[in-house]
Amino acid sequence: MNTRRQALDALCDITDRGAYANLRVKQLTSSLLEREAKLAAALVYHTLDHLLTIDYYLAHFVKGSQKPVIRGILRLGVCELLFLSTPAHAALNESVTLTKEVGKSGLSGFVNAVLRNIDRNRASLPPFPSEPVARLSIQYSYPEWIVREWVNRFGEAETEALLSRPQSAIEVRAQYPYTRDELQKSLPVASTVNSLDENSLSLESGFDLASHPLFLEGKFTVMGESAMLACRTLGDMRGKRVLDACAAPGGKSAYLASLSQNDIQLTCFELHPHRKELLDKTLARLHVAADTFIKDAAEFDPALEVAFDGVLIDAPCSGLGLLGDKPDIRYSKSDRDITELVEIQKHILEACARYVKHGGVLVYATCTISQRENEAQTDAFLHAHKEFVLEEIPISVANDGQVQLLPHVHHTDGFYIARMRRCI
């Protein structure tokens, strides 16, 4: 089975059968040679990143619906023609060959004709809609409900800047007692120190991180700067008891230990057994001691009331701050999902707030850009709980106790962080 056939199977698994892109692409590339793996990953991710644009163009050249496999072939073909550097003759030939390989030889002429027509009309492709939300949705391939929410909040120009941001770099950090400087000197590729957390490094190119000796020895790990800032927001937790309420896969728990130079009493909750295994594996690799439990953070445990100096809630959320790196999230979420997530987040906040000692700190964070999940959630909690007050976050971003990090402004993932102190 050639590389494009494997990429097609992965793409259809993601778009038609609900597979997670990062896991499916990892499976796809694991058995391929490096050059083939890069091609396969590029085909899948670029097609997903431009999916609504591709479908918009196809709708002007194809009448009626197509079988999923043919639709997948056409999507890959348009991606190669318009968004990758594949020569036109190669994109056409490979698409026809792929059509025959999947047992649809009778449709090979149709596929060839559609793609050839698009190639001939590159200079006169249909214009995007003039209405702002529709235009941004098609041009940047984001569902209209997401675009509308951001336009209503930020305006058209700011939303376009957000949608057109460049893809994030791979970010890594050292695990105590290994230092950032030692890591930067030892990495096989160049890196730069990020601006908001001095322990965060952005790699200028990729390499096989998971098999690198320093990674296997637990001296560094992959972690986004914004998630690191959520940990840093707790403040100095050395010698204190801390709960990471939604802990898997373990990067935040490990960073809390690293910031505290391992002088911390760390407890971790994780709802799902398979993710609890991942959490334990991460902590073991990074040599972090913690008490880990399969536990629903939304269900209050009276035995832990006012037991912790600090509680971190990196709540389950819509993930709309990660859309540049995980394009499949755009198409798998809906406005209804936000409503359901808000209720889950509310219950987690209510339960975990009761674990905070008097004078302790509660940090609520999400990896999304959604007022309903972020500012509105925090405001509703504070309105109901006068014993908590917002407290300025100790990071170099202007804030009043809460901050919405934006990729095009802060050069991080879209992340929300609120810091609250229990005063009563």
Cα–Cα distance measured from residue 25 to residue 2, given in angstroms and rounded to the nearest whole number? 15
231 classed as catalytic: no
Q: Residue 15: is it exposed, middle or buried by C-beta count within 10 angstroms (0-12/13-18/19+)?
A: buried
Token pair 């302790």: residue = 360
Q: Residue 269: is it exposed, middle or buried by C-beta count within 10 angstroms (0-12/13-18/19+)?
A: buried
Helix (H) / strand (E) containing 176: none
Token pair belonging to 168: 């994030």
Q: Are 227 and 314 in contact (CB under 8 A)?
A: yes
Cα–Cα distance measured from residue 415 to residue 397, given in angstroms and rounded to the nearest whole number? 13
Token pair 């376009």: residue = 160
Q: Considering the candidates 79, 231, 268, 367, report the single residue annotated as catalytic.
A: 367
Cβ atoms within 10 A of the Cβ of 422, count? 20
- The residues, ordered by sequence, that sit 6+ positions from 161 with a Cβ below 8 Å of its Cβ are 408
Helix and strand totals (H; E) in the chain: 19, 12
Cα–Cα distance measured from residue 215 to residue 254, given in angstroms and rounded to the nearest whole number? 14
- The residues, ordered by sequence, that sit 6+ positions from 374 with a Cβ below 8 Å of its Cβ are 366, 368, 402, 404, 416, 418
Annotated catalytic residues are 367
